[in-house]
Chain A
Amino acid sequence: MNKIMFFAHLREAVGEESISIDVAGRSVAELKELLANQYQLNQLDTVMTAINEEFATNEEIIQQGDIIAFIPPVSGG
């Protein structure tokens, strides 16, 4: 299984802090497409992705147990 985490406006759009789905073997881009369809999200191209708390590219393949976080453009400071 994989834990998928959402923050800021994405959390509100999805309505969950996190979900559990099995997406091992899929790329980050494939996961984005799947979630965009499922939750009618249209801003995932501006969203960064972290796998296990490190930034990842769209091409990266998700492994069993990986924690995926979608990171909208940040606004700290």
Chain B
Amino acid sequence: MNFEISKEPIQIQDVIDKVVQREAGAITTFIGTVRELTAGKKTLFLIYEAYEPMAVKKLEQIGKEIEERWSGAKVAITHRIGKLEITDVAVVIAVSTPHRADAYEANRYAIERIKEIVPIWKKEHWEDGEEWIGNQLETVAYPTGKPEEKDLNE
């Protein structure tokens, strides 16, 4: 299982081990962590929630997209859910490819896609309140009810 949602702390090495291959000349690892300050506001902790079966499917889709775009690529992604403290690891993405440039590019692609199509939400808790992120600003609207092709390929 290269694509997982985990309620437990992510074992980073386990994610990396899934993409080890003899054909690879590079493995890039992205580790997303919980930041304390966002726009000057102090986060106490985060709660991540997922629509788990669909989130796994969408992570698998991202893996397929990468294998189609970067030949020889192998991908593993684990996203954690539940309560996370500052500096905790929220997501680990490992990509192996024959050459290093592709490994960097494909890894960047994976995190950007996660932020577009994977049904996972975070709720930030501050000293003076809490808020689901990605909902209140309404910076992203989907008038047709689903992401447009252009939203997905940016």
User: Which A residues contact B (CB, under 8 angstroms)?
Assistant: 5, 7-9, 12, 28-29, 32, 43, 45-50, 53-60, 69, 71-77
Contact A50 B143, beta carbon cutoff 8 Å? no
Contact A72 B132, beta carbon cutoff 8 Å? yes
B44 at the binding interface (Cβ < 8 Å): no
Chain B interface, >50% SS class: mixed
Chain A interface, >50% SS class: mixed
User: CB within 8 A of A74: which of B134, B138, B139, B141?
Assistant: B134
Q: Known: A69-B51, A72-B135, A76-B91. Is A46-B141 also a contact (CB below 8 A)?
A: yes
Contact A9 B146, beta carbon cutoff 8 Å? no
Contact B145 A74, beta carbon cutoff 8 Å? no
Chain A to chain B contacts (Cβ below 8 Å), 10 pairs: A8-B121, A12-B132, A43-B138, A49-B145, A50-B51, A53-B57, A74-B116, A75-B115, A77-B79, A77-B90
Contact A77 B135, beta carbon cutoff 8 Å? no
- Sorted nearest first, the 6 A-B pairs with minimum C-beta distance are A76-B120, A75-B134, A58-B145, A8-B121, A55-B146, A53-B54
A-B contact sample (15 more), CB < 8 A, given A43-B138, A77-B120: A7-B51, A9-B132, A46-B140, A47-B142, A59-B144, A60-B145, A69-B51, A71-B119, A72-B121, A72-B134, A74-B115, A74-B116, A74-B121, A76-B121, A77-B32
Contact A50 B132, beta carbon cutoff 8 Å? no
User: CB within 8 A of A7: which of B121, B141, B144?
Assistant: B121
A-B contact count (CB 8 A): 107
Q: C-beta contact mask, B123-147 vs A, less than 8 Å → 1, else 0?
A: 1000000001111101111111111
Q: In the bound complex, how far is the Cα of B91 from the Cα of A77, in angstroms?
A: 6
Enumerate chain A residues within 8 angstroms of B10, measured Cβ to Cβ. none
User: CB within 8 A of B111: which of A49, A53, A74, A77?
Assistant: A77
Q: In the bound complex, how far is the Cα of B131 from the Cα of A33, in angstroms?
A: 25
User: CB within 8 A of B118: which of A45, A69, A76?
Assistant: A76
Enumerate chain B residues within 8 angstroms of A50, measured Cβ to Cβ. 51, 54, 119
